[in-house]
C-alpha cells in the first residue's frame, strides 16, 4: 500500500490547513548583498547658510548705527548704547550651532539626517523608496558653488528630502542616482505568496522613512 505524497501547501498542524503566506522576491528581481559604502558623512558647507549669517550681521550693524545715533543726544551720552551693536550676536551664534549640529550620512542604502541642538532628531530615507533624484542650482548657488539634491520618495506625508550645500555636489548627485537605481533593482519589497511559515512572511526587505528622537 503506497502512502500518498504530502501536500507542500499543507500546514504542519494537520491536513486541510493552509500555511501562512511566505515572503519571496518578486519576479525579475535579483537580491544581492549591498555593501553599505559611505558616500558622504559630515555637515553642509557654511556657504549654504550664508543668508542667515548675513541677516544677523546686518542686525548687529543696524543696532550699532542706532546706538551711535542715540549717543549724539546729550542726555544719552553717558549710557552704554554700544551694546546695541551686539543685538544679533545671540541669534548668529545659534544659527551657527544649528548648522554644525545638522549632520548627514549618505550611503548606498540610505540617507540619514541628524539635526537638533537641545533635542536630536534622526530622519532616514531608504534609497529603494526614492522615485526620482533632482539636481538644481540657481544664480546664488553658482556664485557660492552650492546645489540642491532633491530626493523624491514614496512617503505621502513627507515626499521629498533636500540635501543643500553638500561638498562635491555634482559627483555626489551622480553617485546617489546610481545608488538609487541599484537599490531599487536589488531591494524591492518582497511579495507574499502561499506556502511558508508566519515568521518568514514577516521578513520583508527594505524599510521606510524612520524617525528617532533622543
pLDDT tens, residue by residue, 18-43: 555 544 544 554 555 546 799 999 99
Q: One digit per residue, pLDDT tens: the chain, 214 residues?
A: 455 555 545 445 555 555 555 445 445 545 555 467 999 999 999 999 999 999 999 999 999 999 999 999 988 888 898 899 999 999 999 999 999 999 999 999 999 999 999 999 999 999 999 999 999 999 999 999 999 999 998 887 778 899 999 999 999 999 999 999 999 888 655 444 455 444 444 444 444 445 444 5
Residue 173 and residue 95 in one domain: no
Domain match, 95 and 124 both: no
6 part of a folded domain: no
Q: Note whether 107 and 177 are same-domain residues.
A: yes
What is the per-residue pLDDT for 196?
A: 47
Q: How far apart are the first and last CA of the chain?
A: 67
pTM, 2 dp: 0.69
Give the CATH number for residue 140.
Answer: 2.30.29.30
The predicted structure's pLDDT at residue 185 = 86
| Residue 88, pLDDT score | 94
For the chain, the domain total comes to 2
Domain boundary among 55, 85, 101: 101
Residues 33 and 113 reside in one and the same domain: yes
Render pLDDT for 77-94 as a digit per residue (tens, 0 to 9).
Answer: 888 988 999 999 999 999
CA dihedral sign, ordered 92, 98, 104, 110: negative
Residue 37 and residue 108 in one domain = yes
Contact between 58 and 86 (Cβ < 8 Å): no
Residue 16 neighbours by CB under 8 Å, 6+ apart: 10
Q: Looking at the structure, do residues 60 and 163 belong to the same domain, yes or no?
A: no
Q: Is 4 exposed, middle or buried (0-12, 13-18, 19+ CB in 10 A)?
A: exposed
- Contact, 149 vs 159, CB < 8 A? no
* Structural domain containing residue 53: 46-101
Phi and psi based region of residue 116 (left: phi greater than 0; alpha: psi -120 to 50; beta: remaining): left
**DSSP structural state of residue 96:** H
Q: Indicate whether 38 and 135 sit together in one domain.
A: yes
State whether residue 121 is helix, strand or coil. Answer: strand
Burial label for 166, CB within 10 Å (0-12, 13-18, 19+), is: buried
Whole-number pLDDT of residue 157: 76
Query: Which residue bears the cell 553717558?
Result: 78
Q: What is the dihedral of CA 31, 36, 39, 42, to 10 degrees?
A: 140
Does one domain contain both 34 and 134? yes
| Same-domain status, 84 and 125 | no
Indicate if 120 and 175 belong to the same structural domain: yes
Q: Looking at the domain assignment, is residue 117 inside a domain?
A: yes
Amino acid at each position: 500500500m503506497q502512502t500518498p505524497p504530502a501536500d507542500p501547501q499543507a500546514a504542519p498542524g494537520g491536513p486541510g490547513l493552509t500555511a501562512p503566506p511566505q515572503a519571496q522576491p518578486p519576479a525579475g528581481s535579483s537580491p544581492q548583498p549591498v555593501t553599505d559604502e559611505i558616500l558622504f558623512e559630515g555637515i553642509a558647507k557654511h556657504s549654504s547658510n550664508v543668508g542667515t549669517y548675513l541677516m544677523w550681521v546686518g542686525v548687529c550693524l543696524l543696532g550699532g548705527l542706532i546706538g551711535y545715533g542715540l549717543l549724539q543726544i546729550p542726555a544719552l551720552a553717558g549710557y552704554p548704547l554700544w551694546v546695541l551693536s551686539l543685538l544679533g550676536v545671540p541669534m548668529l551664534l545659534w544659527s551657527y550651532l544649528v548648522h554644525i549640529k545638522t549632520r548627514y550620512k549618505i550611503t548606498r542604502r540610505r540617507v540619514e539626517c541628524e539635526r537638533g541642538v537641545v533635542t536630536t532628531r534622526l530622519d532616514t530615507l531608504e534609497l529603494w523608496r526614492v522615485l526620482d533624484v533632482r539636481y538644481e542650482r540657481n544664480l546664488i548657488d553658482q556664485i557660492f558653488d552650492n546645489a540642491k539634491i532633491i530626493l523624491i520618495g514614496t512617503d505621502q506625508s513627507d515626499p521629498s528630502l533636500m540635501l543643500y550645500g553638500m561638498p562635491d555636489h555634482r559627483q555626489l548627485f551622480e553617485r546617489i542616482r546610481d545608488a538609487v537605481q541599484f537599490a531599487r533593482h536589488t531591494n524591492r519589497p518582497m511579495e507574499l505568496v502561499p506556502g511558508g511559515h508566519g515568521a518568514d512572511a514577516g521578513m520583508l526587505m527594505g524599510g521606510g522613512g524612520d524617525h528617532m528622537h533622543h
